[in-house]
Amino acid sequence: MMQSETAEFRLGFREIRSRVRRTIFTKGVKPYFVLVLIIFIFSFVGILEFNASGLINNLDMKYGRGVVQKDDILSILDYVRNTPLVQSLPEFVREEIVVDVVWGILSTYSWLINLFAMNHAYMERNLGEVFVFIMLFMVLYKGVTSFFKKTLAVGLDRAVLENRFQRDVKIRRILAPFGNHKFLHVIGVMSIYVLVIALWWITVIGGIIKHYQYFCVPYILAENPDLSWKEARNLSKEMTYGYKWKMFLIDMSYLYLLVPGFIMPFTDLFIMLPIDYTVGAEVYSVLRQRPDIDRSKFIEPAFDGCAYVDRVKAGEKPEDIHPEYLMPDMHIRNSSFDAADEYRIIDYIAMFFIFCFIGWLWEVGLHLVQEQVFVNRGVMYGPWLPIYGAGGVFIIALLNKLKHHKLKLFISTMILCGILEYFTSFVIEFFSNRSYWDYHDMQLNLNGRVCLAGLIAFDIGGFLGIFIVGPLIKNLVHRLGDKKAKVICSILITLFVIDIICCNIFGPNIGEGIGKEYSERDICRETVCVSEQTKPVSGINW
């Protein structure tokens, strides 16, 4: 090891901390909130598992786990507690550790218990089999989702790396490593990475060592996604050789930031997570400068330069700092991230029915998991939910022109979705005395018709629709050809009109699990109940 390099890195300990602070908090309000928004997106979809992601998931009612009978969980818990293996453990371990862990697993996958509870006699006879199945499903689910999450996290690493070298990073850069059909390759490499790390963690000490030895693998793929697992692993081993202990100390120096996250909601989203990921990018960038490693695998000359904050500190003008990257944006044919797309009527018709069907699948699938009953959740009889189709089309048709101005697009999408959802809920209730969704149990809701969590979910869906799904549907229609596309859309329109006629003749789709019906008797009963609860104790006539 070269002495000059060792000394340089030793001096870099304080420099890393200082540069991380300046990169996050001194570039301006917009760069900071863009970084937070990128992290928020990954937290919202469950890729980051921190306090922030838990709070965000709690906001989103669509990720609810449903209701499970407590007796069912207790029955399985008692079975596990009474197995010979668990009984052989010390009482403290059995009651304070094993029981807590099993309770957490059973409550997390309570919807599986609901499925087995459909045949309660079977479940009572085979509690052990049910528990084993839940454990196998958990291992499989955790494995698959870990591969998927780690793969997508490569996009986050890319955005945070670029955030080090420029003032404003584009949110779309989280997709850059997956362009040119590289997504499956990155999945393969990161799957091996996750599996190897997991196996090493069985030895505990080995897991800690390998965590730091292979630390650079995701960042290496974020820079050069064409590398194989062996190439990325070997390069990471070279980069971290002799520095794993210092990397551990850097992590420990930020350990105090965990405390606010447990005390104040979303503190880790606004402070801990930006620092954590910026530290990772900073450590990778410093290790990348080592002269004693094979540098042929690095393909971004821009990453050879100094950090943005260092260049500004050295006297460069911020407006003159515009690093150019060899990795292009993820490209969708006939579309751009900064220019409005051109759509035809046939494209909008196809979008409407595809969004309607996707919404129907989501609502039906969610109800099937939560209640174990297949129910057509739509107000109509066919496999479509017009609110999803109309919302998707309205967002793309009206807001497509704002693609170049992301903040306006974000605010406009939330407002448009809120108006559309509120107005639709009002119209359905006014004309049919039925409510097909109710957010009264959600935080920050308006008359139970819209809520903040739902609007955020629609906002993210709107961005996906405008930047990805809409262009993909347009390309699909183009590949089908005008003749085939018009025939398919004509058939769908005919069926949709027939469905509308049936709803007018027979009434909208109703039944168990389909919305909530209001009647005059219910309203009177609620009014009486409220009156009794709020009856004044004094003689004043309220």
Q: Evaluate if residue 473 carries a pLDDT over 70.
A: yes
CB 428, CB 435: distance < 8 Å: yes
Q: For residue 371, name the pLDDT band (cuts at 50, 70, 90).
A: low
Q: How many residues does the chain have?
A: 542
CB 445, CB 439: distance < 8 Å: yes
Q: What would the mean pLDDT of 486-492 be, rounded to a whole number?
A: 94
Q: For residue 404, name the pLDDT band (cuts at 50, 70, 90).
A: confident
Of the listed ranges 24-38, 104-118, 417-431, the one predicted with least confidence:
104-118
Nearest to 452 by CA among 9, 43, 60: 60
pLDDT, position 518: 55
Instruction: Considering only residues 325 and 534, tell me which one the structure prediction assigns the higher pLDDT.
Output: 325
Q: State pLDDT tens for residues 20-32.
A: 999 999 999 989 9
Q: Can you tell me which residue has the tokens 């100390």? A: 249
- H or E segment and range at residue 21: helix 3-25
CB 282, CB 247: distance < 8 Å: no
Q: What would the mean pLDDT of 391-404 be, rounded to a whole number?
A: 89
Nearest to 260 by CA among 252, 250, 270, 251: 270
Nearest to 352 by CA among 381, 397, 393, 394: 393
| pTM (two decimals) | 0.71
Q: Can you tell me which residue has the tokens 């448009």? A: 416
- Per the structure block, which two tokens stand in for 61? 């009612």
CB under 8 Å, gap of 24 or more: what pairs does 55-58 form? 55/265, 55/266, 55/269, 56/269
pLDDT, position 222: 96
Q: Evaluate if residue 145 carries a pLDDT over 80.
A: no
Instruction: Considering only residues 509 and 385, tell me which one the structure prediction assigns the higher pLDDT.
Output: 385
Q: State pLDDT tens for residues 182-212.
A: 988 999 999 899 889 989 999 999 999 999 9
Q: What is the dihedral of CA 67, 71, 76, 81, to 10 degrees?
A: 130
CB 416, CB 402: distance < 8 Å: no
